[in-house]
Structure 1
Amino acid sequence: MIAQTPQPPYYAVIFTSVRTETGDGYSEMADKMVELAKKQPGFLGVESARNEIGITVSYWESLEAIRMWKANIDHLEAQLLGRKKWYKTYKTRITKVERDYEFDGLKS
């Protein structure tokens, strides 16, 4: 599902990863992190896709909201587990969205 974001500016955290073969507990933790992020001040939405690489983009009102999410104790635990068992490699990028536009052929 495409996240419904407000008018720019806002921020995007782009998390790109390659997983290990160990799937044990990953899906449950990923679902838990999305639910937890939704409760964080400044959270705007999330989009995710996975094939050979996984890409998750979360949207935030501010850099401070992103810092608070990164420092969340449950998120810190998930980050540690990710490094220990679920990811071969990952990269996080943070960017300011200054403009967005869309096509929605589903709207009448």
Structure 2
Amino acid sequence: MTSIANTLKPPYYAVIFTSLRSDDSSGYDEMAVRMAELAKMQPGFLGIESAREQIGITVSYWSDLESIKQWKMNAEHLGAQQLGRERWYRSFKTRIAKVERDYEF
């Protein structure tokens, strides 16, 4: 993910996933790619941006709260969440925010 998400005119929603990785990275990269592909197929998905240094931050953008709820409950996504808790993350936090305004250069 090396581009800035092209979102709708606000308002829309951002899901901000911040994580600290564990030492076990087996299968992580493949799952991250799969989750990005799967999210793109979900109704209401607008885009995704991700960066990793000492902490990882992934922001996905959604048209409405119902779309976020459906994504959270996607069966394949639920499996990835479980693997994250068991294997890939020391800790993480998810925040959901309403984007009221945006601008760009």
TM-score by length of 1: 0.95
Match of 2:11 in 1: 9
List runs of 5+ in structure 1 lacking aligned partners: 104-108
The count of corresponding residues between Structure 1 and Structure 2 is 103
Q: Say which SS state the counterpart of residue 56 (structure 1) adopts.
A: strand
- Deviation, structure 1 residue 91: 0.2
1:59-90 Cα shifts (integer Å, max 9, x gaps): 00000000000000000000000000000000
Match of 1:58 in 2: 60
List runs of 5+ in structure 2 lacking aligned partners: none
AA aligned opposite 2:34: K
Q: Say which SS state the counterpart of residue 8 (structure 1) adopts.
A: coil
- Deviation, structure 1 residue 95: 0.4
> Over aligned residue pairs, what C-alpha RMSD do you find?
0.3
AA aligned opposite 1:4: N
- Detail structure 1 runs of 4+ shifted over 6 Å in the superposition: none
Query: Following the alignment from structure 1 to structure 2, what is the Cα–Cα distance between the partners of residues 50 and 70?
Result: 22
Match of 1:106 in 2: none
